[in-house]
Amino acid sequence: KQEVTQIPAALSVPEGENLVLNCSFTDSAIYNLQWFRQDPGKGLTSLLLIQSSQREQTSGRLNASLDKSSGRSTLYIAASQPGDSATYLCAVIPPWGYNQGGKLIFGQGTELSVKP
Amino acid sequence: KAGVTQTPRYLIKTRGQQVTLSCSPISGHRSVSWYQQTPGQGLQFLFEYFSETQRNKGNFPGRFSGRQFSNSRSEMNVSTLELGDSALYLCASSPEGTGAEQYFGPGTRLTVT
């Protein structure tokens, strides 16, 4: 059974710091991995999608890497800003989901607070 | 393009009642998935519909059901509500649902009293 873990559960950093959020999964056979951001009481905003054949994806100040063999992904945020404060979630799609519908398996998230 | 929309945004129901939530996907998206988010269990997959057919289902009791219409809009229904059904219900749409990027709506906050 695929399980996704995110460490730490909460993180507080001063503005301007570069930071790394971690995501690990127990079964390396995944179809893709997606990072999301969730503001309190709101829906999820997709940040980056990494296909299983890719090693990393970049969007602005965000860079996500994927190492399937070790069951790990990291989300790197450069020059953090108070507006980055939110909960960050990673989710994987197992390979059997390819022909049976998209089923995201989520981690519990990392709550990030960036202090001015 | 308009994003995923969900109605209503907030709902208060009494234990034992039933409720119907609605989701309109991004134009052109044919796959709609539903998730339940609670503080204790996090985000859990309910089911996914593609071209009006349920293609995948999570581990929820039969009180949770859904359907999809020909215009890809989807509804989920929860019958005989229990206090534990209080949650944020999120729907996501994607072009195919087969590993494609999923886009989430703002959610419906359901409170069962």
Report the pLDDT averaged over residues A35-46: 94
Report the pLDDT averaged over residues A35-60: 93
B31 vs A contacts (CB less than 8 Å): 101-102
The closest alpha carbon to A102, from A21, A46, A38, belongs to A46
What type of residue sits at position A18?
A: N
pLDDT for A61 beyond 70: yes
SS3 A34: strand
Least confidently predicted of A2-6, A88-92, B94-98, B99-103? B94-98
Q: Report the pLDDT value the prediction gives residue A100, as an integer from 0 to 100.
A: 54
Whether residues A46 and B104 touch (CB distance < 8 A) is answered with: yes
Rounded Cα distance, B93 and A80, in Å: 30
Q: Report the pLDDT value the prediction gives residue B99, as an integer from 0 to 100.
A: 67
Report the pLDDT averaged over residues B49-59: 89
Whether residues A45 and B102 touch (CB distance < 8 A) is answered with: no
Distance from CA of B35 to the nearest CA of A (A): 9
How many inter-chain contacts (A to B, CB under 8 Å) are there? Answer: 75
pLDDT of A69-94, one tens digit each? 999 999 999 999 999 999 999 999 87
Whether residues A103 and B33 touch (CB distance < 8 A) is answered with: yes
